[in-house]
Amino acid sequence: MVLIYRNLAMCYDLQMILGIHVSTSGGIDKAVDRAIEIGCNTFQIFVSNPRGWKPTTHKVNETQLFREKFKNAKMSGAVSHSIYLINLASPKKELRELSIESLKSALLSTQMLGLDGLVTHIGSHQGDGLDVGLERVCESLEQILAEDSVGMNLFLENTAGAGNLVGKNFEEMGRIFKRVKSKNLGVCLDTAHAFEYGYKLQTKAGLDSLIKEIDQLIGLEKLRVIHLNDSMTDLASNRDRHEEFGEGFIGKEAMIRIINHPDLYNIPFIMETPKLKSGEAGKEFIDVIKSYAR
């Protein structure tokens, strides 16, 4: 089925869905301006300060202006990203509750802005063991995605595998999806994190194996966003360090292979690297990457 969509898209000459994480400095609507400036057709934003628990209250006029600009831009969707403090696996009940409320608030803001969903890290069990951590994560997600909660998409991001973080591979992620039955739960694949955990994305066989694993354990229809990051650190380093497209250990050839894989077509690719903030340099970089799409 994915290949059918790929072939149809090629017939209609549809563009690659490519964007970056953009700043909301000066007003949340400015994020749309910045994305347009460098030629994005999707993007990612924070809807509140990523290093604090206090949610940002967006004024009605700012939200309306954002939605108007976003609609007029005719982009292929966009997503938000949760704060960095989220820990759904924490042994501390208070921290889990703060994380749950933060995600609920962010999902509501995401819905008000007309975005497609919210990407979040999962958290750390902090030495209590994977089984215990996964139980806490599932219980937390069931609260967040309950029927009486906001009906927005939540995308779980894989980790680089450091310490006691949950979600380092798709066997762990699959256990979450097996327990939490929600149409609003999806996956954000970070290519740097996957490589840093140990998936051999520098080879075609390694990429095919990863995609097959996601399909078998979760379902490719649940893969909704890809963070298209190269890695500053080598395979299985377990160190989360993003690098510019094609300039890291995954490498240019492999990154081009990723954006052209038929099973990943029509999934938004979002880069989170410094070169892409704004201006002509950012636009040139985006244009070069789009030129690699076949």
Note if 51 is an active site residue. Answer: yes
One-letter amino acid for residue 31 of the chain: A
240 carries an active-site annotation: yes
What does the longest C-alpha to C-alpha distance in the chain come to? 53
Q: Is 157 a catalytic residue?
A: yes
Residue of 193, 199, 257, 265 marked active site: 193
Residue from 21, 81, 224, 257 carrying the catalytic annotation: 81
What tokens were used for 23? Answer: 């700043």
Active-site choice (190, 196, 243, 263): 190
| 193 in catalytic set | yes
CA dihedral 206, 211, 216, 222 (to 10 degrees): 150
Return the SS3 of 163.
Answer: coil
The residue type found at 182 is: S
Is 84 tagged catalytic? yes
b vs e for 22-53, b when ≥16 Cβ sit within 10 Å of the residue's Cβ? bebeeebbbbbebbbebebbbbbbbbbeeeee
Q: Which one from 51, 94, 147, 294 is the annotated catalytic residue?
A: 51
- 273: which residues sit within 8 A by CB, 6+ positions away? 20, 229, 230, 242, 243, 244, 245
The active-site residue out of 6, 58, 224, 227 is 227
The catalytic position among 213, 241, 272, 292 is: 272
Catalytic residue among 6, 34, 96, 121: 121
Catalytic member of 196, 230, 240, 263? 240
157, 172, 196, 263: the catalytic one is: 157
Distance of CA 272 to the CA centre of its chain: 10
As a whole number of angstroms, the distance between CA 144 and CA 153 comes to 11
CB neighbours of residue 264 within 10 Å? 20
Would you call 190 a catalytic residue per the annotation? yes
Instruction: Determine contact, residues 124/163, Cβ cutoff 8 Å.
Output: yes
Residue 125 bears catalytic tag: no
Neighbours of 132 (CB within 10 A): 14
- By annotation, the residues acting in catalysis are 51, 81, 84, 121, 157, 190, 193, 227, 240, 242, 272
